[in-house]
Amino acid sequence: PLFAMNKPKQKYMGKDLQDWAKYWDVPFKFPQAFPLRTVQALRLSIIEPKLTQALYQEAWVQGHDLGDEEVLSRVLTDHGYDAEVYLEQTQTQSIKDQLRTNTEEAKDKGAFGAPSFILHRPDEATQLFWGQDRLTLLCEALIKKSLEVKMT
């Protein structure tokens, strides 16, 4: 956990995050509230997967607290959803159960944190990539397989 690290390492990690954002040419702002409380945001992503990008932007570009229901309400409204209806749906047992199922499935596949990427290929072992600094390895794995398919 970030706040369990010593101060020099915390400082370096903050710089590292900014360096990676610059490398990928993406905007980045560390969230005001950290660690993020994402349970309700994750439930919203189950209800409406199209919200995932907007929620990501809200936390990691705008730096807002996804644990704040007012923030979630604004995101929903800004994207044309009835905030009251969607936030109410996050409290239904079926959505809660689906998030638990998704979490257990990720753990069963070896995921232990975010971001985790799981690459599935027919007739091959599933591969886990953890951390934004592993995106290049994930891309290489995808490209390699694509080239193998085209060459056969």
- Give the chain's mean pLDDT: 92
Burial (CB < 10 A; 0-12, 13-18, 19+), residue 116, is middle
* pLDDT computed for residue 150 by the predictor: 57
pLDDT in tens, 17-60: 999 999 999 999 999 899 999 999 999 999 999 999 999 999 99
* pLDDT computed for residue 152 by the predictor: 42
Name residues of the chain where pLDDT drops below 50. Answer: 152
Containing H/E element for 119? strand 116-119
* pLDDT computed for residue 147 by the predictor: 63
Percent of the chain with pLDDT over 90: 80
